[in-house]
Structure 1
Amino acid sequence: MTRRLLALCAIGGVLLSTGCAAIPEYTAPKPISTASGDTTRTSAPAGPQGGEDPANLVRNFIGASGKPEGSRAEARQYLVPPLDKSWDANRQLTVIEDNFNTQVTTDGGVGDTQTVTVRGRRIGQLGTDNAFVPGQEPLDLELPVKVAKQKDGQWRIQEPPAEILVARTDMDANYKQVRLAFFDPSGTSIVRDARYLPLRPNNTLPQRTMELLIGGPSAALRNAVRSALPGGVNLDTNVTEDNHGAMSVNLTGLNEVSKEDRQLVAAQVVLSLQSVSNNRIKLQSDGVSMIPDKQEWRPGDVSKYEHNFTLSPETNYLAVVNGAVRYLPGGEPFPGPAGSGELSVVTAAQSPKGDRLAVVARSGDNVALRVGAPTALRQVSLPAGELTRPTWRPEGPELWTVADHSTVMRVVESGGVWKPQRVSADELTKLGPVTDLRLSRDGIRIAAVVDGRLLVGSVVKEGETTAIRAVRQVAAGALPNVVGVDWWQADQMVVATGGTSGQVLRVQADGQSWERFQSTNLSPGFTAITAAPGRNIVVADRRGLWQSQGPDELWSQVSPSLPFDVVPFYPG
């Protein structure tokens, strides 16, 4: 017995040595404390319970496919031998709506082989960079899955779908959203880039997060943001926890990076790891402190780079009421010609700081754009039959609008004159008439309503040209007949859909998730919607203006004295 125990201990020592081979000898490795979830999963994969009919077998296989640990070990148990060993578990991951169904047909009257057809709706795919890519029309799927009865009478899958299908709730349960931190082009403000990592083993989440950060922005943001991490940077050692409870991140390839840029690197690393760990972070470059006078870091040390774009508490929001700009909720006139009613205002937008106003007003059979200080509006040379509600850039005197549903224009102040410039937006405008366009609060993304669909793109500088790139339809299956959109956060929108069954929804910028607001008190159809960070969402319906703090809250009326055809707007 003693010899057997000694032998087992020796084998265990070899295994432990092999498993830690990539971890540097000078660090005492420990499991890293993560922000949520268990750090281990010791139970064996469940697999088939026995006796499932073909339809339930395939449904349970799809459920098991949502568990990525062990190269989808649980899903493999649903496959016939030897396919259970050779099945490629790293192929395209397709996220589908939860209410998919399965239907069985017998092939040629032979009962030992059957085909199960999976019918459902695609939401999107998880890309090779772990970013979510929203599904595009057509979303309906119909995939055959062949099953065969085994010698023991149990059904197993003989020909699985070419895609790995995962229901949305299973993805939410088994994948963690990691919000990587990159910089806007000015290098002053963090932009979040959502990725999705398998939750388990979650003691490796910091390591995998760092690998994604080093890999750079996702395809949707690749040319819109920048990384302070230079090309060639890498992890010199694994991300580990030292004996004092600090997470050690040791980078290599920073020799030519200035101290100022190392501060930006530190911000990206610390803020990217924020969603997967509560530990202090020890940043190193080739084994020594990355910034000599700073040994350990917390998110508060780099908070100056995170702007939430929350409006000042003193800032009022406005609305166009009967052709004039009014303060809300009381309806008092806004100063200047826009508030007097003499301009016949159709829609308007106030700059983020509140010092400028942009007004679209009727001018004969067309409309005219006037911009400037509220008491000194100047007409812009931008002839059009229609203009969308203007939307302001967060920095500098610049706003955007869409002329005649087809031409995206930016209007920039130069020498006291507001000059229109065309935005390269063919990726967007070729998809149909643009009826609404909003710049995100950080100016990195746009949201647009195009032919009743919600589209998102990124703002890219290409030499002297500003362009909209990486245009994608989001939440296509959940958003029929979109009538309005606005940004609630830098990467979250609120959307109003049309018709008598219209709804208000919160939608994530990448389209991975959405949530419906309560409909109590509302009377669709909706005509306008506006939002701002830290403020109530305001929607206009056929009975007036209504506001809500979020999807779980009831709607309350802004003012019963306001008419129904108002256009509300926050600064921005």
Structure 2
Amino acid sequence: MSRTRRVLVTACSLLLLAGLSGCVELPESGPVVETEPSVEVEEQQAAAIDAVPPQEGETAPAIVKGFLDAMTAYPVQTDVATQFLAQQAQAGWNPDDATITYASADDPTVDPRTGEISVALSDPESLDARGGWQGPLPADQQTLTFRMVVEDGEYRIAEAPDALIVPAQWFSQRFRQVSLYFFDRTSQILVPEPVFVPRGRQLATTLIDGLLAGPGEKLAGVARSFLPGGLSVGLSVPVAEGVAEINLVGDAGQQNDEVVEKMLAQLVWTLRQEPSIDAVRLRIGDEEVRLPGGVSEYRVDDAPEFDPTGYQASLLLYGLRGGLLVSGEPDTLAPADGPFGETDYGLRSVAVNLRATSAAGVTSDGTSVVVGAVRAEAGEEEAQRVEQVVSGATSLMTPSWDFADRLWLVDRTRTGARVIVREDGRLSDVQVPGVTGENVRSFLVSRDATRFAAVVRDAGVDRLLLGRVKVDFRGRVRRAVDVRTITFEDTEPLRVTDIAWTSATSIALLSQVVPGELFEVRTVAVDGSPAGVEALSTTVNEQVVGLAGSPVPEAQQYAVTRNGLVDLTTSRVIGLEEAVTSLGYVG
């Protein structure tokens, strides 16, 4: 892990996984769980920094150093940094286009042939204009070059990168990671997009600015926005008595009730991250936006039907005991009353859809998948029917379901993994770069169906791959894109036993520290950003066979042992009278 990542992790990681944080007490018996202590993270204002303008008679290297130093002014502003630029360069410099963070910077050096000034950055990483993490800078961009000119007898910078260029430690103290909420391409479910934004009292304004910028071309086919283009926020978003007054400037045209509802859904899901906001009122131009019935105030906990973790998704656990499907709380697991709970179909793994109406089971030889109802109403013959939907496979992994009841399958063939999706009763292959044809150990799809996570093993080392899923205008899956590989330099060779969703924007990895004896759970952000890496490091000194994790905030996260569960938040050990396999939440 780079030094930049280690710095950002310290300050930002606890923001992503509140569901896994908490003080842990050692149990009196059972496996010992060691967890980093929870810290109450409050929004603290970082110390103010005054930028120093260029001084008379400074050398060219001093001007470049002063320019970089001036960008660390806080509250964030670049007026002084602009003074280090030549007059012609000032108008064209746009530090809002990107952010570059670095662990350290070498002293500026002069090229004796050209007079240009170079600064080599250590572990530089970049973010886009919205604050979305883009990853490490390519090697050929890790040295900044500044062309210099002389104006009025003083050195000035003739051209500068269009970016805010700051130390990683400075950035971690003054920025936090939040999510902007857009819709999936079919407009049925919200999709959280993680971004870094400045800390402070203007969070609401910053969030609205991010929404108005839209998801961008890169997410075409993945996400969309219902906020019309061409709008901008007024001077700010004032909050009085818990109500945010949003005044958007520009012409939004005529919007129907459905569009208004989804505009407001994006706003309230995004603004609920600001604790002081309970409701919003929206004006576009001079017109107040109202819902059907004349409602003008929209609460931030409204629009639950667009929940990215699945509207009314089951919170129960499901698994196989004695060949039968069981469900319930950890200490009250009981056979389901559908066909899988009454008849042993010889399954080795099972997955239940979000509404807990259908279950998909992989047969013991790994070659077939059968689908049937989770519950059966008395007298309904259809509810008792089990249908074989896949046959002739090689070695199928545990399936995944998304919100649209698409069933995702990975078949580990002799030539590598084959990714298959079943939608509308039809099977089709999906090409996933870095996954298709490889030695895949785990594969998950997010409930909003816009992301996937996979563990791929190569030469005994496991890598985590994170990517996006594109669909067409009808919602049919087309391909996977923007695949990023996450490695862990501090623990390689990493051997991952299992992965699970722990929030809509984070994943937990279970890995072996001491084979068969000591296991670690760590969390990773879905965009691969440093904020999620090692957000929590939890160890269990018992043989853990898997994870039972859910993106729903209220759900408990468990390490699954051969004889029970370990609550990763409280360390409570829950014994199971009989062994349960393939235990997990819906999805």
Q: How far did residue 188 of structure 1 move?
A: 4.1
Q: Tell whether 2:361 aligns with 1:355.
A: no
Q: How far did residue 506 of structure 1 move?
A: 2.2
Q: Tell whether 2:126 aligns with 1:125.
A: yes
Give the direction of change, closer, same or farther, for the CA distance of 1:342–1:135 in structure 2 (3 Å limit): farther
Q: How far did residue 213 of structure 1 move?
A: 1.5
State the partner residue of 2:232.
235
- Name the aligned partner's letter for residue 352 of structure 1: L
Give the TM-score normalised by the residue count of structure 2. 0.67
Task: Give the 3-state SS of the residue equivalent to 1:283 in structure 2.
Answer: strand
Task: Give the 3-state SS of the residue equivalent to 1:250 in structure 2.
Answer: strand
Native 8 Å contact 1:134 1:474 kept in 2 = no
Q: Distance in 1 between matches of 2:50 and 2:268?
A: 35
State the partner residue of 1:15.
none
State the partner residue of 1:32.
none
Give the direction of change, closer, same or farther, for the CA distance of 1:70–1:301 in structure 2 (3 Å limit): closer
Q: How far did residue 568 of structure 1 move?
A: 2.1
State the partner residue of 2:11.
none
Q: Distance in 2 between matches of 1:495 and 1:131?
A: 23
State the partner residue of 2:266.
268
- Name the aligned partner's letter for residue 473 of structure 1: R
Question: Superposition pairs for residues 63-142 of structure 1, below 5 Å?
Answer: 69=75, 71=77, 90=95, 93-95=99-101, 119-120=122-123, 124-135=125-136
Q: Tell whether 2:524 aligns with 1:507.
A: yes
State the partner residue of 1:179.
179
Give the direction of change, closer, same or farther, for the CA distance of 1:94–1:67 in structure 2 (3 Å limit): same
Deviations 1:167-226 (A, max 9, x none): 5553332124342222234434332222222336x44x4444333222211566442222
State the partner residue of 1:528.
546
State the partner residue of 1:454.
464
- Name the aligned partner's letter for residue 93 of structure 1: T
Give the direction of change, closer, same or farther, for the CA distance of 1:294–1:536 in structure 2 (3 Å limit): closer
Q: Distance in 1 between matches of 2:296 and 2:120?
A: 58
State the partner residue of 1:199.
199
Deviations 1:15-58 (A, max 9, x none): xxxxxxxxxxxxxxxxxxxx9565x987624899xxxxxxxxx9
- Name the aligned partner's letter for residue 360 of structure 1: V
Q: How far did residue 401 of structure 1 move?
A: 0.8
Native 8 Å contact 1:392 1:400 kept in 2 = yes
Q: Distance in 2 between matches of 1:193 and 1:321?
A: 38
Q: Distance in 2 between matches of 1:181 and 1:249?
A: 19
- Name the aligned partner's letter for residue 555 of structure 1: S
Native 8 Å contact 1:324 1:338 kept in 2 = yes
Native 8 Å contact 2:567 2:573 kept in 1 = no
Deviations 1:130-166 (A, max 9, x none): 2112449x999986999xxxxxxxxxx9x99999765
Give the TM-score normalised by the residue count of structure 1. 0.69
Give the direction of change, closer, same or farther, for the CA distance of 1:103–1:437 in structure 2 (3 Å limit): same
Q: Distance in 2 between matches of 1:196 and 1:291?
A: 31
Q: Distance in 1 between matches of 2:141 and 2:253?
A: 51
Q: Which moved more, 1:304-313 or 1:254-263?
A: 304-313
State the partner residue of 1:486.
500
State the partner residue of 1:154.
none
Give the direction of change, closer, same or farther, for the CA distance of 1:101–1:523 in structure 2 (3 Å limit): farther
Question: Superposition pairs for residues 461-476 of structure 1, below 5 Å?
Answer: 461-462=471-472, 465-473=476-484, 475-476=486-487
Task: Give the 3-state SS of the residue equivalent to 1:210 in structure 2.
Answer: helix
Q: Distance in 2 between matches of 1:36 and 1:310?
A: 30
- Which of 541, 559, 570 is residue 539 of structure 1 equivalent to? 559
Q: Distance in 2 between matches of 1:213 and 1:261?
A: 15
State the partner residue of 2:28.
none
Q: Distance in 2 between matches of 1:522 and 1:140?
A: 44
Q: How far did residue 411 of structure 1 move?
A: 2.2
Give the direction of change, closer, same or farther, for the CA distance of 1:237–1:102 in structure 2 (3 Å limit): closer
Q: How far did residue 531 of structure 1 move?
A: 0.8
State the partner residue of 2:388.
379
Give the direction of change, closer, same or farther, for the CA distance of 1:430–1:104 in structure 2 (3 Å limit): farther
Native 8 Å contact 1:174 1:199 kept in 2 = yes
Native 8 Å contact 1:246 1:282 kept in 2 = yes
- Name the aligned partner's letter for residue 492 of structure 1: S
Deviations 1:514-558 (A, max 9, x none): 23545344346x5422211222222245x6544334xxx353433
Q: Distance in 2 between matches of 1:142 and 1:360?
A: 48
- Which of 435, 441, 444 is residue 447 of structure 2 equivalent to? 441
- Which of 529, 538, 563 is residue 519 of structure 1 equivalent to? 538
Q: Percent identity?
A: 19
Native 8 Å contact 1:394 1:443 kept in 2 = yes
Larger Rg: 1
- Name the aligned partner's letter for residue 278 of structure 1: I
Q: How far did residue 470 of structure 1 move?
A: 3.0
Q: Which moved more, 1:513-522 or 1:454-463?
A: 513-522
- Root-mean-square deviation (CA), in Å? 5.1
Q: Tell whether 2:221 aligns with 1:223.
A: yes
Q: Distance in 2 between matches of 1:134 and 1:392?
A: 29
Task: Give the 3-state SS of the residue equivalent to 2:290 in structure 1.
Answer: coil
Q: Distance in 1 between matches of 2:140 and 2:521?
A: 24
Give the direction of change, closer, same or farther, for the CA distance of 1:75–1:320 in structure 2 (3 Å limit): farther
Task: Give the 3-state SS of the residue equivalent to 2:270 in structure 1.
Answer: helix
Give the direction of change, closer, same or farther, for the CA distance of 1:378–1:212 in structure 2 (3 Å limit): same
- Name the aligned partner's letter for residue 232 of structure 2: L
Question: Superposition pairs for residues 277-316 of structure 1, below 5 Å?
Answer: 278=277, 281-291=280-290, 293-306=294-307, 308-309=309-310, 316=316
Native 8 Å contact 1:503 1:517 kept in 2 = no
Give the direction of change, closer, same or farther, for the CA distance of 1:140–1:255 in structure 2 (3 Å limit): closer
How many equivalent pairs are there? 497
Give the direction of change, closer, same or farther, for the CA distance of 1:557–1:296 in structure 2 (3 Å limit): closer
Unpaired segments of 5 or more residues in structure 1?
Answer: 1-34, 49-57, 108-113, 147-156
Q: Distance in 2 between matches of 1:117 and 1:228?
A: 42
State the partner residue of 1:153.
none
Native 8 Å contact 1:447 1:486 kept in 2 = no
